[in-house]
């Protein structure tokens, strides 16, 4: 049995989208240890294919060369193979310092010495990410599987873990709505806060169920503004939970509304009924891979030649791709997805994950 180290990407969404790769590696007998930054590590703990997760002690954006050398040397002799998912030089240093015999990754830039089994960089600037990662399980000269041949990412949390988190917050499974109104990359990915407030108010009024707002501490002020505008029934949890807890809250929700964000991918991997509003980014690159997901993207409908711009802030100043997605449209899509999923609880459909 091959002992393998996987150096994880730094973003939550990318971590989720790497799961089909790990499933393929585990299925062929590799024992997987994942080295991940602390804010990503909980995603890998929700993958049964992973034998161990090591939290990396590095600061975001820093080389930390001496610390990487020490950690890598401490792993000497422990692994036969390494997979380096990020394309940076610093991500490839750990396996090299550890002397791992086989080091797999994309060619990237300047990694000729660091990796000895290199796949060529994809021709597309922004390829479908799940297939991009899954290709690392193949020989360097083998063609990548087409995206529709790669299984969707799947995460698992023990039901008792979800129940404990919900009980601590006075919530019950499928008894609340979840919203993730932020996005780490910037405001050009974010559906307007006023639209979230309108939708939250409507969902609470019609269902009698609370709405929880999830996200990081950076998004807490925005979430509070949404709650203030929406009124009663909206609970701000952005910045007040760990990622483990946020994942449990997503897993237990009745439905999720989000931008293109890490929690969008978490919701998809739990098979949650969801609506994802896309703006500056493209669902052709990072879609929520979930049969219960609805994507709303106005590029073609509005004839937006500027989309996707992949900018942090709208370069034209209008953000029409997001502002013109009306709350009733999102509400209708969400309720349709939820109704279909709830029918599956009584009549499960083969191939779909049932959220219970």
Residue 63 confidence (pLDDT): 82
| Global pTM value | 0.94
pLDDT of residue 58: 87
Longest dimension (CA), the chain: 60
- Domains, the chain: 3-149 (3.40.50.2000), 161-346 (3.40.50.2000)
Low-confidence ranges of the chain (pLDDT < 70): 346-356
Residue 39's Cα: distance from chain center in Å?
Answer: 12
The Cα 243–Cα 293 span in angstroms is: 22
pLDDT value, residue 1:
87
211 strand-pairing partners: 177, 234
pLDDT at 353: 44
Question: According to the model, what pLDDT value does residue 34 have?
Answer: 98
The separation between CA 114 and the C-alpha centre of its own chain, rounded to angstroms, equals: 28
How far is the C-alpha of 256 from the C-alpha of 262, rounded, in Å?
Answer: 13
The pLDDT assigned to 347 comes to 52
Residue range 15-50, pLDDT digits in tens: 999 999 999 999 999 999 999 999 999 999 999 999
The model's pLDDT over 1-12, given as tens digits with 9 standing for 90+, comes to 899 999 999 999
User: Which phi and psi angles does 100 have, rounded to 5°?
Assistant: -65, 125
Q: Which residues, 6 or more positions from 15, have their beta carbon under 8 angstroms from its beta carbon?
A: 8, 9, 36, 40, 43, 44, 262
Residues 6+ apart with CB under 8 A from 129: 14, 17, 285, 286
Give the pLDDT confidence score for residue 352 in this predicted structure. Answer: 39
pLDDT for 344 = 85
pLDDT score recorded for residue 348: 45
């Amino acid at each position: 049995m091959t002992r393998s180290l996987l150096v994880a990407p730094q973003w939550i969404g990318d971590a989720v989208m790497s799961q089909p790769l790990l499933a393929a590696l585990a299925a062929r007998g590799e024992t997987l240890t994942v080295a991940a930054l602390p804010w990503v590590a909980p995603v890998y703990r929700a993958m049964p294919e992973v034998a161990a997760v090591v939290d990396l002690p590095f600061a975001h954006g820093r080389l930390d060369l001496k610390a990487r050398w020490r950690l890598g040397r401490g792993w000497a002799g422990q692994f036969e193979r390494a997979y380096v998912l990020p394309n940076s030089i610093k991500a490839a240093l750990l396996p090299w310092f550890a002397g791992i015999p086989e080091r797999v990754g994309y060619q990237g830039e300047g990694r000729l010495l660091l990796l000895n089994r290199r796949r060529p960089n994809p021709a597309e600037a922004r390829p479908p990410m799940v297939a991009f990662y899954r290709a690392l399980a193949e020989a360097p000269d083998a063609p990548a599987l087409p995206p529709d041949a790669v299984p969707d990412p799947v995460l698992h949390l023990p039901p008792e873990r979800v129940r404990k988190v919900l009980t601590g917050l006075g919530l019950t499974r499928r008894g609340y709505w979840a919203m993730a109104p932020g996005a780490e990359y910037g405001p050009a990915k974010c559906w307007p806060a006023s639209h979230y407030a309108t939708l939250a108010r409507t969902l609470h009024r019609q269902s009698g169920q609370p709405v929880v707002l999830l996200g990081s501490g950076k998004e807490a002020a925005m979430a509070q503004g949404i709650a203030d505008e929406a009124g009663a029934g909206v609970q701000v949890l952005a910045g007040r939970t760990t990622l483990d807890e946020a994942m449990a809250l997503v897993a237990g929700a009745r439905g999720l509304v989000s931008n293109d964000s890490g929690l969008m991918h978490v919701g998809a991997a739990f098979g949650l009924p969801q609506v994802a509003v896309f703006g500056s980014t493209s669902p052709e690159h990072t879609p929520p891979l979930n049969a219960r997901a609805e994507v709303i993207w106005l590029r073609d409908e509005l004839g937006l030649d500027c989309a996707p711009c992949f900018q942090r802030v709208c370069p034209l100043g209008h953000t029409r791709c997001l502002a013109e997605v009306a709350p009733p449209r999102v509400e209708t899509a969400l309720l349709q997805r939820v109704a279909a999923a709830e029918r599956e609880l009584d009549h499960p459909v083969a191939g779909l994950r049932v959220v219970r």
